[in-house]
Amino acid sequence: MSETQFKFDKAIWKTVSSIKRGGVMSYGQVARIAGYPRHARMVSKAMSRSAEPLPWYRVVKSDRTLAFEVGSTAYHKQKNLLEKEGVQFIGGKVVPVDSDEGKDLDELLWGPPE
């Protein structure tokens, strides 16, 4: 494994680990904060390569939907882990815990706007 790649991985891991419990971050955001703009696609690889357990499930797509195919095993696994941390799912999109307080009660009761 090259030196530059190790540096990249480390930066990604550090950034992912910094995501607060109950919060989420997009791939592009993680890449940017780690110091590697436009490397969104590489973030997934870096996480897969991680030896240490990482809160990979706190990383979602830019539109706040999960990156996996809906209905897939991985999709449900990630959804479970997030919900266990208090993250809600509305209309297939995640809603971080700190965001639901400002949310309209209507939407929570009536469900997702289709």
Q: Per CB under 7 A, does 13 bind DNA?
A: no
7 touches DNA by CB under 7 A: no
Name the CA radius of gyration of the chain, rounded.
15
What is the C-alpha to C-alpha distance for residues 31 and 45, in angstroms, rounded to an integer?
12
Q: How far apart are the first and last CA of the chain?
A: 46
Looking at the Cβ atoms of 15 and 56, the one nearer to DNA is 56
Q: Which two three-digit tokens encode residue 34?
A: 């780690």
Quick one: 44 or 88, whose CB is closer to DNA?
A: 44
Site string for DNA, 48-77 (x = CB under 7 A): x-------xx-x-xxx---xx---------
Is 82 one of the binding residues for DNA (CB under 7 A)? Answer: no
Query: Interface with DNA includes 29 (CB under 7 A)?
Result: yes
Among 44, 97, 99, 107, binds DNA (CB under 7 A): 44
Q: What Cα–Cα distance (Å) separates residue 59 from each residue in 8, 12, 19, 30?
A: 17, 11, 9, 8
Residue 106 to residues 29, 63, 111, Cα–Cα distance (Å)? 30, 22, 8
Applying CB under 7 A, does 41 fall inside the site for DNA? yes
Contacts with DNA by CB under 7 A lie at 2, 5, 8, 26-29, 38-45, 47-48, 56-57, 59, 61-63, 67-68
